[in-house]
Amino acid sequence: MRITLNGADVECDAPTITLLLGDVPIGCAVAVNHEVVPRSVHHTHPVNDGDTVEVVAAVAGG
């Protein structure tokens, strides 16, 4: 299936967020289709064809 990962078109077959991204470290968060997905359900939250997945991290800011 194809998803959009951080703005890029990506081919993948991972059925869950954890399988797609591994363990997401502290300081990072994931949203699927513009909804934040809590870390506690990453291992069960499905990834579907056409999904928009964002992974963000805290970086030095102002």
Indicate whether 39 belongs to the interface with other proteins (CB under 8 A): yes
54/32 Cα distance (integer angstroms): 6
Q: How far apart are CA 62 and CA 60, in angstroms?
A: 7
> Pick from 31, 33, 46, 48: which binds other proteins (CB under 8 A)?
31
What 3-state class would DSSP assign to 41?
Answer: helix
Q: Are 12 and 20 in contact (CB under 8 A)?
A: yes
Q: Which residue in the set 36, 41, 46, 48 belongs to the binding site for other proteins (CB under 8 A)?
A: 36
Q: Is 50 in the site for other proteins (CB under 8 A)?
A: no
Which residues bind to other proteins, rule: CB under 8 A?
6-7, 21, 25-31, 34, 36-39, 54-62
